[in-house]
Amino acid sequence: MNGLGGLNKSDNGVVLGMVQLQLTHVETPEQLAAQTQKIVDMVAKARRNMATMDLVVFPEYALHGLSMDTNPAIMCSMDGPEVAAFKQACIDNDIWGCFSIMEYNPDGNPWNTGLIIDNLGEVKLYYRKLHPWVPVEPWEPGDLGIPVIDGPNGCKLSLIICHDGMFPEMAREAAYKGAEIMLRTAGYTAPIRESWSFTNQSNAFCNLMVTANVCMCGSDGTFDSMGEGMIVNFDGSIIAHGTSGRADEIITAEVRPDLVREARINWGVENNIYQLGHRGFTAVKGGAQDCPYTFMTDLAAGNYKLPWEKDVKITDGTSCGFDKPTRSYGDKKRSAAE
């Protein structure tokens, strides 16, 4: 059920709009300002398009395009004009919005940052991408964990970005912290189409959680992004799917967080997020609550190492034209004066 794309909104529903934004190319502050205005205009379009819409979601790279340019002149800050414009757009249109910026980092490479802003213009969720798409992306690994917030109409809402969604641990962490709706914004191109689809569905089903996902769309003359707005119900079924590849189309649906809550409480078979920590509860009281997974204990201890680790060939970004890093995670970037 999607309420005819959200046209018929129930009392408990949350109407989502996933913007398959036209892929852009930004090299200068002037182009950055123009793209900011394009996004502001699309917020207004979303509101005009559907009066019931609660949250409009823009893809990763909506502001900067896919150039991977780390020029400080076009990086953003939380107190900069781009974020201020997004806040005002949410106020002016009485709508929540999810936005993407490349955030200036004085101590290293920029962060790939996602923001959720409410209809009063307040930043409610601030997330830095934990898993940049290496070796292609130069962004600093995120350091803010996976926030979960109270979203529109009382839903529990989280955000991950693009490649994050290829790690089942990301969706599991969001759900473990209570997320009923997980957004996934992306700039993926066509070769990822199939894996995009089945991971969006598996992230939903394995965690009894709605996933709402969208990529940039169209071509910038070099790259072609695929759109593929996809809203998936907690049972893994696709509620809405933007298969046309039409740039600037807004894919909409109503989702029901109350039914997510109901399933998480009432499902026996395939209540997998509960059963992960309660193995075999039919046989033993409360189920086994140990951790039988070596990769989990090794990662927590800082000893994660694959059996084939020494044979992995691509372990930095040099194959994509980036210098080999010399700074360890957590170390500050040295200034030119040093």
Does 169 participate in catalysis according to the annotation?
A: no
Name the DSSP letter for residue 153: G
* Catalytic site residue from 76, 155, 162, 217: 162
* Catalytic site residue from 9, 87, 129, 156: 129
Q: Give the residue among 3, 46, 44, 35 at the shortest CA–CA distance from 250.
A: 46
DSSP strand pairing (217-219 vs 224-226): antiparallel
Instruction: Estimate the crossing angle of helix 81-93 against helix 29-49, to 10 degrees.
Output: 10
Sheet (strand 96-103) strand order: 123-128, 111-117, 96-103, 55-57, 14-20, 249-255
Total count of residues recorded for the chain: 338
**Cα torsion through 56, 242, 217, 105, rounded to 10:** 40
Does 129 participate in catalysis according to the annotation?
A: yes
Rounded distance between C-alpha atoms, residue 75 and residue 109, angstroms: 11
Concatenated DSSP letters for 12-55?
A: T-EEEEEEEPBP-B--SHHHHHHHHHHHHHHHHHHHHH-TT--E
CB contact burial 158-186 (16+ within 10 A = b; e otherwise): bbbbbbbbeeeebbbbbbeeebbbbbbbb
The pair of three-digit structure tokens given for residue 217, joined into one six-digit string = 């769309």
Rounded distance between C-alpha atoms, residue 214 and residue 17, angstroms: 10
Does 177 participate in catalysis according to the annotation?
A: no
* Catalytic site residue from 9, 60, 82, 98: 60
Name the DSSP letter for residue 79: T
- Which amino acids are annotated catalytic? 60, 129, 162
